[in-house]
Amino acid sequence: MEQPEQPAETPGETEEQPPETPAEPGSEDLRIGVFVCHCGTNIGGFVDVPSVVEYTKTLPDVVFATGNLYSCAEDGLASIRDAIKEHKLNRVIVASCTPRTHGPLFQGVCEEAGLNKYLFEFANIREQCSWVHMKEKEEATEKAKDLVRSAVAKAALLVPQEEMKVDVVPRSLVIGGGVAGLSAALSLAGQRFDVHLVEKESELGGFTRNLNSLYLGEKSAEETIKPLIDRVMSHENITVHLNSQVGDVSGFIGNFDTTIVSNGSSQEVKVGTIIIATGALEYLPDGLYGYGMYDNVVTLTEFEILCKSHKLPKVNKVAFIQCVGSRGQDKSYCSRICCVISIKNALYLTEKYAELMGDDGAERVEVGVSVPEIASRRRRRRRMAVAEGAGAPAAAPMGGPEITIFNRDVMTYGANHEVYYNEAREKRIRFVRYTPENRPKVTQEGDKLAVTYYHETLKTERKLLADMVVLATPLVAPPDAAKLSKMLKVPIGRDGFFLEAHVKLRPIDFATDGIFVCGTARGPADITESVAQGLGTASRAAIPMARGFIQAEAILAQVDPQICTGCGTCVANCPYGAIRMTEEGVAEVLAAACKGCGCCGATCPEKAITMMNYTDDQLLAQGRSILQGAL
Amino acid sequence: MSTDIMVIGGGIAGIQASLDIADKGGKVYLVEKTPSIGGRMAQLDKTFPTNDCSICILAPKMADCYSHPNIDVLTYSEVMGVEGEAGNFKVKVLKKARYVDEAKCTGCEECAVKCPVKVPNEFDQGIGERKAIYMPFAQAVPRVMTIDKEHCTWFLKEKCGACKILCEREAVDFDQKDEEVVLDVGSIIVAIGYDLWDPTPATEYGYGKFPNVFTGMEYERMINASGPTGGEMKRRSDGKRPYKLAFIQCVGSRNPQLGHAYCCSVCCMFSTKEAMLAREHHDDIDSTIFYKDMRAFGKGFFEYVERAKNDYGVRYINSDATVQENPENHNPIVVYDVAGRPEKEEFDMVVLATTLIPREGAVKVAEMIGIPLTEFKFFESKDRILAPVDTAKEGVFLAGYCREPMDIPESVTEGSAAAARAVETVLAKGVSV
Amino acid sequence: MAEFEPKIIGFLCNWCSYAGADLAGVSRYQYPPDIRIIRVMCSARVDPMIVLTLFKEGADGILIGGCHIGDCHYISGNYHTEKRVYVVKKLMEKAGLEVERFRLEWISASEGEKFAKTVTEFTEKIMELGPSKVGEDPELTNRMGAAVDASLDFRIRSLLGHEVGMIENGNVYGETKTEEEMRNIIDIAIEDEFRRSLILGVTSSKPASAKELSQIANLPTERIVEHIATLRQKNLLAIDHVDGMTPYYVALRVGGD
């Protein structure tokens, strides 16, 4: 790892001085140089490059124009460098391929020659001219002239831009002490940053603390996450705030001022980045399938708590009902992990049946769980199950429970989940599909629960008498998520979960820089996924902190406070939350957060916003120059 | 000791890992086997559940990665050996000769126009052709040509050389040699992605026998506007567009007999997307998806399937399915069952959601580095709960599909996660920062 | 007369459409050479004022290319573009310039062929329409001037800026508007501001009576009188002189220009 090249000396914003003070736009001293590339025959074969060069020389303020066989070749670049010095060029245009691939190269050359890189302009005469008008040399040549003239018109109005640097406090705030938050905190600490971990409960561990077993592990849920909690508690870089909440947040990436409220007292902490790991809750299916009416109708998590506390009543026939309250029954979404959790519990009940049904459960639950021989034997058995497939189920253990899982689609995606599904089928756990049109019904019949369901193949109604019904309900966003969303100015989606910046490529970022999200606060996820997301946010948050500063875009919006009336239209339009109102009641662009899209400028009712490098004047000059036509 | 980090695999997981590390100031070697970075995501037309254009969102990342001052992108290169331990790995990398000077080539592709040798285009899944000197795809990064030695007339018969004569930049260099370099790195991230399973052995689907049976990726290339058919779905038998499309799920996956007992994680959504895109191309096209379980489990996925049903008229049938053919018109006939009753239906085209399998080279990579594989030949996590991206070997990390079937955002997340763990390692092992 | 060579300007966003245009080049898709491309970072950068000004100054056609909805590099920029395009078209309609001269197209980075096709079609359309009459026809030119002025109006721009938010989050009182309600409000604002801009445009060069203005604006006199009253309230218009019983109005210059 390298240290940031230039540690900023003073806090706040520091500026790089442009190497030279170039001419103001419109002044007499404009000295524009134009390099027209042949690109071998790629341009030269379809555009009369010499005539473009000659024409360019006649344009206002152009003091130098030449053709290059290959502008991007070392000799081509050298000729640009030399010409900048020799002819004292203060604006440079290369007419060649596309700025999307070669812009940075030529900008770099300008910088090497001491010219601010924002005084460079591109004319695309290959991809958007010679290659698309291969049969019309004359027209292509005219077009190339127009494109160069338009670039010259813009170049004349270019002004040097400085990339602002904003210092970043190398400290992170992690909100939520579940596995996602713990993983994030630990990794950030491992990357040598200070972390403040805020947990509203009196213990770390989050939702996992409710759970009995974990489907990928041999140990109990609590035992599994204990080492993680211990490492967080003992890490010198991590400050854990239990029984605490975030009271207030202001500022932006690099410099957030936060207030942590614990037991009535509050503490101010300045952080550079924030990670949201506030988790989710289990949906309570009041009124569905007899929940709340019959004692032995429980949710998945309640079932786990019963197992964990050895209070599971004597049961033989158990029915799990999937998608309770999800996938269109109240909540619209699929909760992703309930299928595998039901399977996990069904398998747990099958495997531990004798122990769980014993009178003295407390000790028996522990039997064999952490014995390595048994663990490896079970892994082998799982592998065998896979090799044999579901077609050859082994006999159910004598006197075991009879378990039925009513489902709509079994969501055991991937390799790890599907292995459990196969194992469950091998263990004679019955899977019965239902459709939302024919949901099962639960009623009390004597001391049993009657599950009436429609058999899709036999096309008849059937009845199952069960001792217990377990409802697989979705994870839902906690009610305080909305509050946090407002405080941090980050969005939540329709389902109440936090909404990432981009569904595909920025899954754990927010559009607002410096704030990240992981775990079930983002949406249903299993424990492994929550850990991966926690680590992922630790990487994302570490980026600005490792650099020590943010290099703001130079192409950004600027508000003229003299013209701004503080109407707030720009604040409403900015997708990045990069504009705020100052105490004086005018808009202010946060350079560190602005991405330079220009959306605000194009709608500012007072036209108080200028989009640097794409100003109205520059765009109009380009347009007008095109309309003017080649002379 | 080295604080540099190597990322093996230039797909989206590897790109994300590289960018994260490099943005923190770490030096990265990104080793990619093929001539361009981008991976599978570059082949996709759109991505679910937003129907984002795949290359549009990927291309800026590819460009960022290639031009990043802290990332050394080694394309057309392979890892040949790994020695050492965390903080001090020595990785032998073979830089294959592409016979084109990467620094000189401008990517104008004029040489390919002149090249007389036609080869099926692997990027387009063999639909359409490329030349022996080629650009793997239009948005390739780096945008330089590569000569395919296996097919080039110069290498086979010492004749032709048209590309060399034509190239004014003199970028073509037949004398280029493979080069082996040894790189010192403190940590390694494995992100080699997946292979596509060839469904020919599963004869019940008729792939390779019935011309109008396609794989999902073949279809994906066809509907891509810059693909081999310019975005048109064309039947192999007569080049006509289909009106009735069938998608068959779990072809080769969730199938212990074929050795892939796991679920691919992405195919239900992939096929739903493809059915929606078909309707977007032609509003008179009807699609049917035959599935075992509709695994629409991710954020917004279930709603996406509902939208496919309600707004795009996609029909979902819960059944296994096999394929026969009407010999008269080469129309595939899908055989399935509803409530135990066998049914048959004729379609114009069948698209198979074939399983995605661990890379053929995964075993070799695992052996070289000394890390275990799971029963399915995915790389095994150190701890499947708390350390998913760690491996049994300290300093070696995993990201993306090569670890466990997953979609793009999960691969991106793991790319970042692996980056965090790798940086932690080099900081702990390395010289003081 | 020489063959018509249309002046077509294309504003393309850097991330999708500009890349699509590059891909058309890389793929050597040929298209008519009349279009000249100006690169912007996001299609939402293109202020309606810029489009209307260039039309006023003689552009025969203007194309805006952006990312497909949902693909925007800046999250939601193209959504705003769509709203602005609506206003531009409305104002073109009011001014009497063929709206077909203006086109918005979503072109992705992988749609090189679509770009070529779009330009070909659009060029053909412009050829069919012939040269823009702006400049030649003084009344149309006046009206385009009014369209440009209206595009700079506070009310229209403010409504446009808040349109998305009003539909999704409601105003400060928590009232949300449906898309249709918002459209109606915006339509009314466009109509009003265009007429007022026209009145100011006309009266800035020569005092005019309500009746004359009613003919020029093609609006009943009572509506013109309402606009005159509003403009006088805002101190933008004053009575220049009274001829008999008829007052003649003149635009007041505000600010320093």
Identify the DSSP state of B383: B
Residue C9 has a pLDDT of 97
**Domain contains B104:** no
Statement to judge: residues B83 and B228 lie in one domain: no
Statement to judge: residues B233 and B329 lie in one domain: yes
pLDDT tens for A485-503 read: 988 888 888 889 999 988 8
φ, ψ (nearest 5 deg) of residue B131: -100, 175
Q: Do B56 and C108 touch (CB under 8 A)?
A: yes
Q: Is the pLDDT of residue A374 over 60?
A: no
- Give the 3-state secondary structure of residue B31: strand
Query: What span, in angstroms and rounded, lies between the C-alpha atoms of A466 and A444?
Result: 10
Radius of gyration of chain C (CA): 21
What range defines the domain where residue B49 resides?
5-96+178-193+359-428
| Residue C256 pLDDT grade (very low, low, confident, very high; cuts 50, 70, 90) | very low
Which residues of chain C are within 8 Å of residue A143 when distances are taken between CB atoms?
33, 36
Q: Is the pLDDT of residue B433 over 50?
A: no
Nearest-5° Cα angle at B213, B207 to B216? 95
Q: Do C70 and B52 touch (CB under 8 A)?
A: yes
pLDDT tens for B303-325 read: 999 999 999 999 999 999 999 99
Q: Is the pLDDT of residue A378 over 70?
A: no
Q: Do B410 and A529 touch (CB under 8 A)?
A: yes
Q: Is the pLDDT of residue A393 over 60?
A: no
- How far from A221 is each of A209, A226, A369, CA to CA, in Å? 7, 9, 12
Which residues of chain A are within 8 Å of residue C42 when distances are taken between CB atoms?
597-599
Query: What span, in angstroms and rounded, lies between the C-alpha atoms of B24 and A550?
Result: 11
Query: What span, in angstroms and rounded, lies between the C-alpha atoms of A506 and A181?
Result: 18
Q: Are the CB atoms for A171 and A142 separated by under 8 Å?
A: no
Query: Is A285-475 a domain of CATH 3.40.630.30?
Result: no
Same fold, A32-162 and A556-611: no
Query: What span, in angstroms and rounded, lies between the C-alpha atoms of A23 and A74?
Result: 28
Statement to judge: residues B264 and B329 lie in one domain: yes
| Residue A631 pLDDT grade (very low, low, confident, very high; cuts 50, 70, 90) | very low
Question: Is C170 in the A-facing interface, judged by CB distances under 8 Å?
Answer: no
Domain count, chain B: 3
Q: Are the CB atoms for A41 and B110 separated by under 8 Å?
A: yes
Statement to judge: residues B405 and B336 lie in one domain: no
**Domain contains B105:** no
Statement to judge: residues B155 and B225 lie in one domain: no
Query: Which residues contact residue B361 at a Cβ distance below 8 angstroms, ignoring those fewer than 6 apart?
Result: B33, B192
Nearest-5° Cα angle at C173, C168 to C178? 35
Of the candidates C84, C83, C74, the one whose C-alpha atom is nearest the C-alpha of residue C16 is C74
Q: How many residues does chain C have?
A: 257
Query: What span, in angstroms and rounded, lies between the C-alpha atoms of C251 and C233?
Result: 12
Radius of gyration of chain A (CA): 33
pLDDT tens for A201-232 read: 999 999 999 999 998 778 899 999 999 999 99
pLDDT tens for A394-419 read: 334 446 899 999 999 999 999 989 98
Query: Which residues contact residue C3 at a Cβ distance below 8 angstroms, ignoring those fewer than 6 apart?
Result: none
Q: Are the CB atoms for A95 and A144 separated by under 8 Å?
A: yes
| Residue A480 pLDDT grade (very low, low, confident, very high; cuts 50, 70, 90) | confident
Q: Is the pLDDT of residue B201 over 60?
A: yes
Residue C169 has a pLDDT of 67
pLDDT tens for B363-381 read: 999 999 999 999 999 999 9
Residue A14 has a pLDDT of 43
Instruction: Pick the range with the lowest mean pLDDT from A243-247, A357-361, C24-28, C228-232.
Output: A357-361
Statement to judge: residues B47 and B189 lie in one domain: yes
Task: Give the minimum alpha-carbon distance from B308 to chain C in angstroms, rounded to a whole number.
Answer: 17
| Residue B164 pLDDT grade (very low, low, confident, very high; cuts 50, 70, 90) | very high
Q: Is the pLDDT of residue A528 over 90?
A: yes
Q: Is the pLDDT of residue A392 over 80?
A: no
| Residue B357 pLDDT grade (very low, low, confident, very high; cuts 50, 70, 90) | very high
pLDDT tens for B126-140 read: 999 999 999 999 889
Residue of C8, C11, C12, C41 to mutate, interface with A, max A Cβ within 10 Å? C41
- Give the 3-state secondary structure of residue A535: helix
Portion of chain A with pLDDT greater than 70, in percent: 89
Element (H, E) at C225: helix C221-233
**Domain contains B390:** yes
Query: What span, in angstroms and rounded, lies between the C-alpha atoms of A430 and A453?
Result: 14
Left, alpha or beta for A93 (phi > 0: left; psi -120 to 50: alpha)? beta
Strands B321-326 and B331-338: antiparallel
Q: Which CATH class for the A169-280+477-547 domain?
A: alpha beta
Statement to judge: residues B120 and B219 lie in one domain: no
Count of C-beta atoms within a 10 Å radius of residue A547 = 20
Sequence letter at residue B229? T
Element (H, E) at C56: helix C48-56
Mean pLDDT of C153-166: 84
Instruction: Pick the range with the lowest mean pLDDT from A270-274, B1-5, C108-112.
Output: C108-112
Sequence letter at residue B145? M
**Domain contains B307:** yes
Query: Is A556-611 a domain of CATH 3.40.50.10540?
Result: no
Statement to judge: residues B305 and B400 lie in one domain: no
Of the candidates C169, C193, C200, the one whose C-alpha atom is nearest the C-alpha of residue C87 is C193
Statement to judge: residues B127 and B89 lie in one domain: no
Q: Are the CB atoms for C8 and C34 separated by under 8 Å?
A: yes
Half-sphere exposure of A503 (CA within 13 A, CB side): 18
| Residue C174 pLDDT grade (very low, low, confident, very high; cuts 50, 70, 90) | low
Q: Dihedral angle at the C-alpha atoms of A296, A302, A304, A305, nearest 10 degrees?
A: -110
Q: Are the CB atoms for A71 and A96 separated by under 8 Å?
A: yes
Instruction: Pick the range with the lowest mean pLDDT from A311-320, B6-15, C208-217.
Output: C208-217
For residue A383 the two structure tokens come to 């592998």
Across the interface, which of C37, C77, C165 has its CB nearest the CB of A597?
Answer: C77
Mean pLDDT of A162-189: 95
**Domain contains B229:** yes
Query: What span, in angstroms and rounded, lies between the C-alpha atoms of B310 and B303?
Result: 10
CATH of segment(s) A32-162: 3.40.50
Q: Do B138 and C23 touch (CB under 8 A)?
A: yes
Of the candidates A181, A279, A281, the one whose C-alpha atom is nearest the C-alpha of residue A238 is A181
Residue A370 has a pLDDT of 38
Q: Do C30 and A133 touch (CB under 8 A)?
A: yes
Q: What is the DSSP string of A445-488?
A: ETTEEEEEEEETTTTEEEEEEESEEEE---EE--TTHHHHHHHH
pLDDT tens for A20-79 read: 455 555 455 899 999 999 988 889 999 999 999 999 999 999 999 999 988 888 788 999
Residue A369 has a pLDDT of 30
Query: What span, in angstroms and rounded, lies between the C-alpha atoms of C125 and A564?
Result: 41
Residue A362 has a pLDDT of 38
Statement to judge: residues B162 and B213 lie in one domain: no
Query: Which residues contact residue A21 at a Cβ distance below 8 angstroms, ignoring those fewer than 6 apart?
Result: none
Portion of chain B with pLDDT greater than 90, in percent: 88
| Residue A372 pLDDT grade (very low, low, confident, very high; cuts 50, 70, 90) | very low
**Domain contains B433:** no
Statement to judge: residues B306 and B414 lie in one domain: no
Q: Is the pLDDT of residue B190 over 60?
A: yes
Mean pLDDT of B332-341: 90
Residue A218 has a pLDDT of 80
pLDDT tens for A553-600 read: 788 899 999 999 999 899 888 888 889 999 999 999 988 888 888 889
Mean pLDDT of A268-274: 97
For residue A237 the two structure tokens come to 């870089």
Q: Are the CB atoms for A361 and B228 separated by under 8 Å?
A: no
Residue A25 has a pLDDT of 53
pLDDT tens for C190-225 read: 999 999 999 998 898 889 999 989 888 888 888 899
pLDDT tens for C8-28 read: 999 999 988 999 999 899 888
- Give the 3-state secondary structure of residue B238: coil
Which residues of chain A are within 8 Å of residue B23 when distances are taken between CB atoms?
543, 546-547
For residue A530 the two structure tokens come to 């929550």
Query: What span, in angstroms and rounded, lies between the C-alpha atoms of B57 and B51?
Result: 11
| Residue A381 pLDDT grade (very low, low, confident, very high; cuts 50, 70, 90) | very low
pLDDT averaged over chain B? Answer: 94
For residue A535 the two structure tokens come to 């680590």
pLDDT tens for B41-85 read: 999 999 999 887 888 789 889 988 998 999 999 999 999 999 999
Count of B–C CB contacts within 8 Å? 56
Mean pLDDT of A82-88: 95
Task: Give the minimum alpha-carbon distance from C200 to chain B in angstroms, rounded to a whole number.
Answer: 46
Q: Which residues partner with B82 through β-bridges? A: B91
| Residue C172 pLDDT grade (very low, low, confident, very high; cuts 50, 70, 90) | low
Residue A223 has a pLDDT of 94
Question: Is C108 in the B-facing interface, judged by CB distances under 8 Å?
Answer: yes
Q: Is the pLDDT of residue B336 over 90?
A: yes
Q: Is the peptide bond between B49 and the residue preceding it cis, with omega within 30 degrees of 0? A: yes
CATH number assigned to the domain comprising residue B238:
3.50.50.60
Q: Domain residue spans in chain A?
A: 32-162, 169-280+477-547, 285-475, 556-611
Task: Give the minimum alpha-carbon distance from B26 to chain C in angstroms, rounded to a whole number.
Answer: 26
Last residue of a domain, one of B356, B378, B412: B356
Statement to judge: residues B327 and B269 lie in one domain: yes
Question: Is B203 in the C-facing interface, judged by CB distances under 8 Å?
Answer: no
More confident residue, C100 or A369: C100
Mean pLDDT of A338-344: 96
Which residues of chain C are within 8 Å of residue B225 when distances are taken between CB atoms?
108, 110-114
